[in-house]
């Protein structure tokens, strides 16, 4: 359902109240368009999180445990990459996947796969850097024991990752929150195509520009609920980690 855009860019209280009422009805009724957009958003972000975790967790643990030339520089670069501008990442992925780019033959531009790639690039440094910090702190407690038993670095890394699993789950949730709220990169590489690459953030931007406040508010409500759920889960896991540490 579309509302007529207000004249001269002004939105009245009646318009907002009406839009909010329609938005709540869309959420509660499980509107098909709303469900499709939310489903695609969750699919893209969860797949990106899974891939980024497969890369970031071992990378962060290795940087925490291993000692090698250039380790400090790699740590600094990794921390700096946590603040990658999303639009720059989107532009980079666009150039790589465009017809004139090195991976243009794969025809991935303006597909959910391209959006997953962009989100992976954005959240992998976050997961790796936070993992490195958590594992480094934990490694200080076990370093002498590992050294006395001559434990290989990869075995030590795996053991530390398991020991810090609750804390690392909060890291994963932070990465998921970053991914699902992303708009700049995914709109560049995804194109915001209806029923193909339209996710919650890009749909909110589009529907607001069109004046369809109801759908934009409905998507905003769902996105806010997801954010609250992620934060609640992170707090619960953090409490579980604290109880495990002092058990």
pLDDT at 241: 64
**In the predicted model, what is the mean pLDDT of residues 225-235?**
85
Is residue 78 included in any domain, yes or no?
Answer: yes
56 assigned to some structural domain: yes
Top-confidence residue, 121 or 240: 121
CA separation for the pair 138, 161 (Å, rounded): 9
Residue 25 in any domain: the answer is no
Hey, is 176 helix, strand or coil?
Answer: helix
Candidates 185, 183, 203; CA nearest to 194 is 203
Q: Report if residue 112 sits inside a domain.
A: yes
pLDDT averaged over the chain? 86
pLDDT digits (tens, 9 = 90+) for 102-146: 998 999 999 999 999 999 999 999 999 999 999 998 888 888 888
Provide the pLDDT for residue 52.
Answer: 96
Residue 245 has pLDDT above 70, yes or no: no
Band the pLDDT of 59: cuts 50, 70, 90: very high
Query: Residue 10 and residue 8: Cα distance in Å, rounded?
Result: 6
pTM (2 decimals)? 0.86
Number of residues that make up the chain: 247
Structural domain range at position 226 = 31-245
Whether 160 contacts 66, CB under 8 Å: no
pLDDT in tens, 185-214: 999 999 999 889 999 999 998 888 887 788
DSSP alpha helix (H) spans, 150-212 = 153-163, 165-180, 184-190, 200-210
Does any domain span residue 8?
Answer: no
Comparing CA positions, the residue from 105, 119, 236 lying closest to residue 187 is 119
Note whether 173 and 45 are within 8 A (CB). no
| pLDDT at 1 (0 to 100) | 44
pLDDT for the residue numbered 179? 92
Confirm whether 7 is domain-assigned: no
Total count of domains within the chain? 1
Residues 6+ apart with CB under 8 A from 217: 19, 20, 22, 23
Q: With CA atoms as reference, report the closest residue to 172 among 5, 60, 32, 8.
A: 60
- CA 32 – CA 13 distance, rounded (Å): 28
Residue 173 has pLDDT above 80, yes or no: yes
Q: What is the CATH number of the domain that holds 141?
A: 1.10.3720.10
pLDDT at 237 over 80: no
**Of 172, 178, 38, 62, nearest to 118 (Cα)?**
178
Q: Is the CA virtual torsion 87, 91, 92, 97 positive or negative?
A: positive
Contact 58, 157 (CB under 8 A): yes
pLDDT value of residue 14? 59
Does any domain span residue 92? yes
The answer to whether residue 6 is domain-embedded is no
């Amino acid at each position: 359902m579309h509302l007529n855009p207000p004249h001269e860019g002004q939105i009245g209280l009646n318009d907002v109240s009406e839009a909010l009422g329609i938005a709540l009805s869309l959420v509660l009724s499980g509107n098909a368009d709303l469900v499709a957009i939310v489903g695609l958003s969750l699919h893209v972000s969860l797949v990106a999180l899974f891939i980024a975790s497969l890369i970031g967790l071992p990378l962060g643990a290795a940087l925490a445990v291993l000692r090698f030339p250039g380790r400090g520089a790699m740590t600094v670069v990794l921390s700096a990459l946590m603040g990658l501008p999303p639009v720059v990442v989107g532009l980079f992925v666009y150039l790589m996947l465009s017809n004139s780019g090195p991976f243009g033959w794969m025809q991935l531009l303006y597909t959910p796969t391209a959006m997953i790639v962009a989100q992976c690039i954005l959240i992998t440094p976050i997961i790796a850097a936070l993992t490195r910090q958590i594992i480094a702190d934990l490694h200080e407690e076990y370093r002498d024991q590992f050294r006395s038993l001559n434990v290989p670095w990869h075995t030590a890394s795996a053991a530390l990752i398991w020991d810090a699993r609750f804390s690392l789950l909060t890291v994963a949730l932070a990465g998921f929150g970053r991914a699902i709220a992303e708009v700049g990169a995914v709109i560049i590489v995804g194109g915001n195509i209806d029923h193909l690459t339209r996710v919650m953030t890009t749909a909110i931007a589009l529907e607001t520009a069109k004046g369809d406040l109801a759908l934009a508010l409905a998507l905003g409500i769902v996105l806010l609920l997801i954010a609250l759920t992620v934060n609640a889960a992170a707090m619960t896991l953090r409490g579980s980690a604290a109880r495990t540490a002092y058990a």
